[in-house]
Amino acid sequence: MADQTKAISYSSYLQLEKLLSSQSPITKGSAAPAHDEMLFIIVHQVYELWFKEILTELDSVRSLFMAEYISESEIGKAVARLERVTKIQNILLEQLAVLETMTPLDFLDFRDQLNPSSGFQSVQFRLIENKLGLKPEKRLAFTKHAYHSVLSDEEKEIVRRSEDEASLFELVDQWLARTPFLQFEGFDFWESYNSAVQKMLERELTIIKDNPMVTDEVRQKEIENHQQTRASFEAVLSEERHAELVREGQLSLSLKALQGSLMIFLYRDEPIFHLPFRLLTALIDIDELMTSWRNRHALMVQRMIGRKIGTGGSSGYHYLGEAAEAHKVFADLVNLASFLIPKSELPELPEEFRRHLGFLYTKETEE
């Protein structure tokens, strides 16, 4: 029987004594203590607490997708947890506004004493990136050394191990690739989709050629753009073209996963696709919010230190701004818009096909 002699309290449950005594400003006790250093410490500690919660959610979702099959209820859990991550990310964005109440001069009161510590040493942030699916070779280098070179030996090992784990990107790719609807009793969806795409493109080309409001030069440019649009559809229709784009680093999703995600987007109104569509949307939101945070952080750094080198030795503002674009993980899902066609142009699914439309993630459908 549990010991009831020592009742739990708000303070003891949250370990507030430990939590509230963990701020140790380096300028405290000096001749000129920096007032805003406490703000700086607390904001970054709160970031790390939220990072811990994000990792908790990501690990739980990854564990769900490691299963041999995934039921709709499990997809619902994954969606709820990923949407929770996006809510946390919005809070992280808002926290920058609090930090920006500190002026550049206020920051200079203690900045030099922070060297060589840097946000680059946040192990949890690196774990978030790796567990989402950011590959080492995709990282933008800010020194000639590996991104984890600024960490302790113990921290390096933790980060290296996360590189070898199945990332959320990889697990979602495998899940999408198992979508069993490419062909069904003589109905080839992709043949029908390709036919609909060609009709749409031919109609658009006719509109361009017959437009009396543009010059011949503009018309020629629009025709060239249209040819590029036509070629872009090969990424989802041609194995050879898809493989070429993967080799060039322009695509990351496997062809089956890309087709599966496109099917979900095109037929998201089908009940079976409601949760998968929300899942993919949550992944896009997470990627966009990570990019927004990086961009906002870069602007804040520029505001605080201008063109100075960062405390961790990076180029500061310039590195952060470039990383915002380079470190996207789910860009392929965002770019699905390139392959969408109007609902009125969508191939009509045979009734039998529509009735059997579903994922092989439950025992019932496996049987």
What is the CB-side half-sphere exposure of residue 177 using CA atoms within 13 A?
A: 13
- DSSP codes of every residue in 150-179: GS-HHHHHHHHHHHHSPPHHHHHHHHHHT-
Which pLDDT value is given to residue 334? 94
Residue whose entry in the numeric block shows the structure tokens 């007032």 = 35
Distance between CA atoms of 213 and 205, rounded to whole angstroms?
15
Three-state DSSP at 209 gives: helix
172, two tokens: 């979602």
- Of 130, 112, 131, 124, residue with least CA distance to 151: 124
Domain spans, the chain: 35-185+253-366
Topology given in CATH for the domain delimited by 35-185+253-366: Methane Monooxygenase Hydroxylase; Chain G, domain 1 (1.20.58)
Distance between CA atoms of 54 and 58, rounded to whole angstroms?
6
254 — phi, psi (to 5°)?
-65, 160
24, two tokens: 């140790």
Give pLDDT tens digits for 168-182.
999 999 999 987 555
Residues (pLDDT < 70) of the chain are 1-5, 142-144, 180-186, 307-317, 352-367
What is the helix (H) or strand (E) element at residue 41, kind and residue range?
Answer: helix 37-65
- Please name the residues in contact with 267: beta carbons below 8 A apart, sequence gap of 6 or more: 273, 346, 349, 357
Which pLDDT value is given to residue 37? 96
Q: What is the pTM of this model?
A: 0.88
Residue whose entry in the numeric block shows the structure tokens 């697990």 = 171
Distance between CA atoms of 136 and 230, rounded to whole angstroms?
33
Which pLDDT value is given to residue 330? 97
Instruction: Specify the DSSP class assigned to residue 33.
Output: -
Peptide bond into 342 cis (omega under 30): no
Distance between CA atoms of 264 and 208, rounded to whole angstroms?
30
Residue 201 and residue 229 in contact, taking contact as beta carbons nearer than 8 Å: yes
Which pLDDT value is given to residue 171? 97
Distance between CA atoms of 84 and 69, rounded to whole angstroms?
23
What is the helix (H) or strand (E) element at residue 188, kind and residue range?
Answer: strand 187-188
Distance between CA atoms of 352 and 44, rounded to whole angstroms?
56
Distance between CA atoms of 168 and 105, rounded to whole angstroms?
41
Three-state DSSP at 48 gives: helix
